[in-house]
Amino acid sequence: MRQCHKANIESPKIQMSAADVLVVDDDIAVCRIVQRMLSDEQCNVQISQSVADALGAIEQKAFDAYVVDFKLPDGSGLDVAERVRSKWGATPIILISGYDPEAVALRAEKLCISNFLEKPFSRAIICEVVKKAIGAQKAAPELPPIDPPASPTALGGHPLTRFWQRLVKRPQS
């Protein structure tokens, strides 16, 4: 039985020099803002605005991390995550959404989503989450592509517990 690799939120500062990140969101403004934020942190960022565009990019090459919106015009960001898992294995996937995390928690847990960020999020939060996810991935042993488990309990324990422990929420104002 395979287990998900989780980003260590206590890890030291990690340089993201030359990390390749795919950002998928149907809102071009969100794509460009996240692209600018991560580019300032020395990431090479490619953007896609649909499941179809993202799947095309995923077929072309592997990325060091994926930042994917949950709701897209032609499907779900979890459809993108599923393809990433089957093609590239345990690569960090950060799910972003303006929707309630409970709506996606069960399926996200099955796909070993690295983190969930509620929109809106700050530059500091997105950069920190991506840095830590990439750093944890580089520190972890390389695993072959994984098939999502048939049931949420296949990973052991209550399916929502581990996902909720990994949630990163926006700061309260």
For 142-159, write each residue's pLDDT tens digit: 555 545 444 333 333 333
Distance CA 108, CA 114 (A): 9
Q: What is the pLDDT of residue 169?
A: 47
Q: How many CB atoms lie within 10 A of CB 110?
A: 22
β-sheet bridge partners, residue 67: 23, 94
Name the least confident of 14-28, 44-58, 76-90, 111-125: 14-28
Q: Is residue 168 part of a domain?
A: no
- Residue 117, pLDDT > 70, answer yes
What is the rounded average pLDDT of the residues 53-67? 97
Number of folded domains that form the chain? 1
CATH number of the structural domain spanning residue 48: 3.40.50.2300
The reported pTM is 0.74
State the DSSP code for 168: B
In a domain, 95, yes or no: yes
Question: 127 lies in a domain?
Answer: yes
Residue among 139, 122, 127, 168 nearest 16 (CA):
127
* Structure confidence at residue 17 as a pLDDT band (50, 70, 90): low
The first and second tokens of residue 48, run together, are 């896609």
Domain of 131 in residue numbering reads as 19-143
